[in-house]
Amino acid sequence: MKVNYADIVISAASKKQYPKAPIPEIALAGRSNVGKSSFINKMIQRKNLARTSSKPGKTQTLNFYIINDLFHFVDVPGYGYAKVSKKERAKWGEMMEEYFSEREQLRATALIIDSRHKPTEDDVIMYNYLKHFGLPVMVIATKLDKLKKSQKHKQLKTIQEVLEMEEEDTLIPFSSETGEGKELAWKTMLSHLNM
Ligand SMILES: Nc1nc2c(ncn2[C@@H]2O[C@H](COP(=O)(O)OP(=O)(O)O)[C@@H](O)[C@H]2O)c(=O)[nH]1
Ligand SMILES: [Mg+2]
């Protein structure tokens, strides 16, 4: 996929602000700091359109990106950051529910997981949460460049097993550093978008 055009549409704090254009969407979920923004930047070949930050738990907005005027990437706020107040946590939950339960043009999700570790309890909860909305989930096992070649197979198998991934869902080994997995990620996304 050649990306000729990509831009941020809006950082939305509530439903009222979601883009109205009825174009299909792919949402990206994952733990804070797991590499969501880096994934977007790598996929669209832009160094810093999606902001990568060292301050986890900061963004409490849904960031909508338009790609080639064809579809949206939606960067959903990360989870699992310890230093978040109860109030903020509740607000995050409401944002998730508001988006995932009602967004009609949402076609699939990408759940970004750190390939170096066993999925966390929060990762498992998020996978099941997305499945409960009937969504296809692409599991992106990122930071693969940080694994030794000999560890890759075992780690990928662990991810698949711990999440109890369903047949329809694709596990995609990925690295935002090297670009490994980019083609499979595009192929899978475009099929979910019917493109
Ligand atoms: N080595 C390596 N580092 C990565 C990769 N993806 C993300 N990072 C780093 O992980 C940190 C968090 O990335 P970011 O995209 O901001 O995570 P987000 O909070 O999920 O959006 C940054 O320092 C990135 O440079 C990857 O595939 N390989
Ligand atoms: Mg980010």
Ligand nearest to the CA of 40: 1
| Residue 163: pLDDT over 70 | yes
Tens-place pLDDT, residues 14-37: 999 999 999 999 999 999 999 999
**Burial level of 64, CB count in 10 A (0-12/13-18/19+)?**
buried
Tens-place pLDDT, residues 89-132: 899 999 999 999 999 999 999 999 999 999 999 999 999 999 99
The pTM of this model reads 0.95
Q: Is the CB of 80 under 6 A from ligand 1?
A: no
The CA 54 to ligand 1 mean position distance, Å, reads 9
What's the confidence (pLDDT) of residue 150?
96
